[in-house]
Structure 1
Amino acid sequence: MRRLVISGGLVLTGPRWRPEPLDLLVVDGRIASVSAPGSFAEVDAERHDATGALVIPGLVNGHTHSHTRHARGANRDWTLETSLLHGPWLAAGLDGERGLELAELSATLTAVELLRSGCTGAFDLVAQAGLPDFERLSAVAGGYHGAGMRAVIAPMVADRSVHAAVPAIDGCCPPPPAGPSTDLVLAACRDWATYAPALPGISPALAPTIAAHCTPELITGLHALAREQGLRLHTHLAESLPQAASGEDRFGRSITAELGDLGVLDHHLTVAHAIWVDAADLALLAEAGAVAVTVPGSNLRLGSGVADTRAMLDAGIRLAVGTDGANSSDAYDQLDAARLAALLSRVGSRSPGGWLSVEETLSAATEGGAAACGWTETGRLAPDHAADLALLDLGSSAFRPANDVPNQLLTAARAADVTDVFVAGRRVIADRAAVRVDVAAAESRFSELVAELHERHAPARRRGADEAAASAAALAALRARPRGDARLLPATSPLADPTPGPTPGENRRPSP
């Protein structure tokens, strides 16, 4: 029996989120007791002195993509649709052992970056060109496990192209090559759901990427498989106005209503973004018990709009927070994502009483993320919960003066203030350094493999840029379509030009 005592810290946890001097007793990776300082002085245990530290539950990232790590900073002015047109090279890999190595390193380094922001678990949706590759998915699982982080890993799949899903693109660009059949996609997902490696803290899930990119047969097939295997189902929901509008044109109703009619809205479902939804959609999600993940950094970066998180909570929906991938929000920083979620709730016309409170935001970033992943025993520092926690330096400038520590955790603290992180009672970040990963060596090898990847797939990147340019005007018209559920601010100047700028989607610079 392994015992650990963490003493001397200022503990901040839900549901009250009031900092208190408390000590924690951890037994075999789980919190056995939380009690007054000095309560465990006589316990025979390993000890960690948390004096001068704020001790919080590990944050949980409800939505991310480790496979896009290689595209960090690659775009300046992409929208979601531009990103989707670049999908063939974003999801591309390398052959053989190098491909497995790249997938594992992407997950390893993503895990380390998240851990350094106080995040102890994540839901990772992994896209791969062609069919889901079991070995590469297993490599992703190994990357997270090797870094010491919890993860739910889902192959992100579709059987319709973005061209077919968004007719505005189809009318401007040549059709892409046909993808694998629905039956083959389902068979590959069944293999992952059934035989995913049994690593501690790692579990499989399934992800029909976007409803309009999937046939009803694929969505319902994945839902049935998820229910059969007891897995989470995760999808992007109404992320952008073109996606929402195209989906409504196709289905004759909202995307949420379509999912309801297909019978896949239930408490096993996690939906990401959920920007272009209305009150009826929120009522459906709430009644089903689905979890909604707000992804504020990506929503801002891609100009997708501002999710109405207050309306989600008022409807009774469980709210989580995610970072998305490096191609759309650049940083895997869960603490920053929580801060952005809190601030974006303030940009509308609601009075301060309608903004997300500190407590609501911290709960979304911890227990909400755990719910998105299907975890019931993480996200809180309490007996019978996993000992997943992060320590922040109370001596840093973020907490000086310490006027309101929970508020300052959101408004002022940064990943650099996180000193130590424990997952299942094991220290995986120590004095701001990864314990289980040689980060310098991993980054060096990752850079070598990424250079090879980008050189090999440069033609696909150029095609993505060309298609983005060809479809820019049609997509801009979709973004300008009038709607009652405004999620984007109107142009502030009557002279604002609604047409796209030069070479849209490729950062206003030549393609590589």
Structure 2
Amino acid sequence: MDSELTIVGGRVLGETLDTSHQQDIFVVDGVIDAIADAGERPPVGVVIDARNQVVTPGLINSHHHSHEHYHKGRYDRVPLELWMNYVRPLTDFPITPRQVYVRTLIGAIQALKSGTTTIVDDLNAGPKLDPALIEASLQAYRDIGIRAMVGVTLFDKPFFRAMPFVEEEFPAELLAKLNAVPTTPASQILDFVSSLAVSHHPSSARVAALLAPSAPQRCTDDFLRAVRRTADDLDLPVIIHVQETRLQAVSGELFYGKSMYQHLGDIGFLKPKTQLIHAVRATPNDMQLLATAGASVQHNPNSNMKLGSGLMPMRAFLDAGVNVSLGTDGCGSIETVDMLRTVSSTALVQKLRGGDHTKWIGATDAWHAGTIGGAIALGMEGRLGEISVGASADLCCYRLDTAAMTPLNNPLQQIVYGETGSSLDTIIVDGKVVMESGNLIGIDELGILREAHAAHTELEPFIAKAEASVNEMMPAYRRICDRCDSHVIDQKILPARF
């Protein structure tokens, strides 16, 4: 039967992380039905020969922005607050559904080829919502075969107003110009996402919807409560950016008189299946609050390093009982959707915190965050991020006859610290083969990339024009950054820079 598949003879990186003997994995209707010693029972359905390969759960990229792909390689040595408006300009530019489709596939290609089987896409729709563009992105994920959860970015305060001192530092004429930009009401976008979730629910759809309120400072409390009610009513995961930078920690104090974590707790926003993206700056009290609420935090090490935001205190979060997931972030901030690089960076840069070396974040911690941690954060523990009976068959097969795996001492550590994706042979998502012998089989990869180059050439003048409009705000932004730098932050916040 086409709904049956057997992976034979692989070294399975399952719950025990023991890959010392060969096993067969039996898949029925996209779900792992049984795991047995190699040869114990005859294979059924499509047979994949995984002898001399290690079979792992697919990685979960819990944070990505597909709308940034045409901005790849344009920015460096720019902190978050000065950079973010370049990839979310209020000046819209013409883009077709086909260009969005191709743009989405750029990231999905790299995601799969770095061992990712689930990607969470925080997709900014631009000033005006066009459902055809959202559908183009969903179709791209359907066609390539990856599991995707797409959240249209939600906010009812424009990005330029998400910082303190805007009324004082922005020229009145510029504020009037920015305020006059027509946008789709946030309530209308929330209604659209709610309707989308009915037909694209994570419980049943491989390409699904979730809720993505941008950040506390970009949403009114009433809007955040509306998002929370929607998430509870529809049983949807939630992702939200929280305290990525020192300036945002200052903003929490100035806007709410407390940390943004504490404010979200006070309005009843913190619950399980809720991921707080970045969480670079936090106090022990913030961590305890999240642990009690069952919320997760999400580490994006490469993006945080490139933007100079700092280093999340991952071990402290884990010790407090807070689940940690991993993400790459968008290609406007960090030019890659490579989750193998993210897992490796997590296990490496977290050691800079020093202290007791037995408490350092290692390969096992990083791998857990990139698999089971991501599943817990999405409310899909037991279904994603692991190889066990009843879990979705989202699996990666790495060859053992490559330089990264030779000689073979510890497959997990060699994947985390040495693998680039070159050893990937077969990838299965939802029980279907999407990569075979290192080649994607659902799309014409080279054709799509050629089309992406052509689309970028056509769109680049509009991107440059939008960037020029953002430059009008830069003098005011720099003054705001300088003022915030002079503010003292809570001394209990764990260090984020060294």
TM-score scaled by length of structure 1: 0.89
Distance 2:34 2:206 in 1: 22
Residues 450-492 of structure 1 deviation map (CA, whole Å, 9 limit, x = unaligned): 22222124222012234335523541453464442254435xx
Alpha carbons 2:91, 2:469 under 8 Å: kept: no
Match of 2:331 among 323, 326, 349: 326
Give the aligned residue type for 1:136: L
Unaligned runs of 5+ in 1: 491-512
Q: Give the deviation of 1:368 after TM superposition.
A: 1.3
Across the aligned residues of Structure 1 and Structure 2, the Cα RMSD in angstroms comes to 2.2
Query: Where has structure 1 moved over 6 Å in runs of 4 or more?
Result: none
The 1:92–1:322 alpha-carbon spacing in structure 2 relative to 1, beyond 3 Å, is: farther
Distance 2:411 2:199 in 1: 45
Q: How does 1:55-454 map to 2 (within 5 A)?
A: 55-89=55-89, 92=92, 94-95=94-95, 98=96, 100-168=97-165, 171-173=168-170, 174-175=174-175, 176-178=178-180, 179-196=183-200, 200-376=205-381, 377-454=383-460
Identity of aligned residues (%): 26
Residues 297-336 of structure 1 deviation map (CA, whole Å, 9 limit, x = unaligned): 1111111110011111111111111111101111100111
Distance 1:93 1:389 in 2: 39
Q: Give the deviation of 1:271 after TM superposition.
A: 1.3
The 1:194–1:6 alpha-carbon spacing in structure 2 relative to 1, beyond 3 Å, is: closer
Q: Which moved more, 1:162-171 or 1:221-230?
A: 162-171
Give the secondary structure class of the aligned counterpart of 1:347. helix
Structure 2 residue 481 is the aligned partner of structure 1 residue 475: yes
Give the aligned residue type for 1:49: D
Distance 2:88 2:167 in 1: 16
The 1:474–1:320 alpha-carbon spacing in structure 2 relative to 1, beyond 3 Å, is: same
1:504 corresponds to which residue? none
Alpha carbons 2:425, 2:435 under 8 Å: kept: yes
Give the aligned residue type for 2:432: R
1:54 corresponds to which residue? 54
Q: Give the deviation of 1:289 after TM superposition.
A: 1.0
Distance 2:187 2:206 in 1: 30
The 1:218–1:427 alpha-carbon spacing in structure 2 relative to 1, beyond 3 Å, is: same
Alpha carbons 1:160, 1:215 under 8 Å: kept: yes
Alpha carbons 1:17, 1:406 under 8 Å: kept: no
Distance 2:53 2:92 in 1: 42
The 1:3–1:210 alpha-carbon spacing in structure 2 relative to 1, beyond 3 Å, is: same
Distance 2:118 2:161 in 1: 35
2:39 corresponds to which residue? 38
Give the secondary structure class of the aligned counterpart of 1:411. helix
1:14 corresponds to which residue? 15
Unaligned runs of 5+ in 2: none
Give the aligned residue type for 1:455: P
Distance 1:181 1:8 in 2: 55
> Aligned residue pairs: how many?
486
Q: Give the deviation of 1:110 after TM superposition.
A: 1.4
Residues 205-255 of structure 1 deviation map (CA, whole Å, 9 limit, x = unaligned): 111101101111111111111111111111011111112211221011110
The 1:306–1:7 alpha-carbon spacing in structure 2 relative to 1, beyond 3 Å, is: same
Give the aligned residue type for 2:126: A
Alpha carbons 1:59, 1:379 under 8 Å: kept: yes
Distance 2:453 2:157 in 1: 32
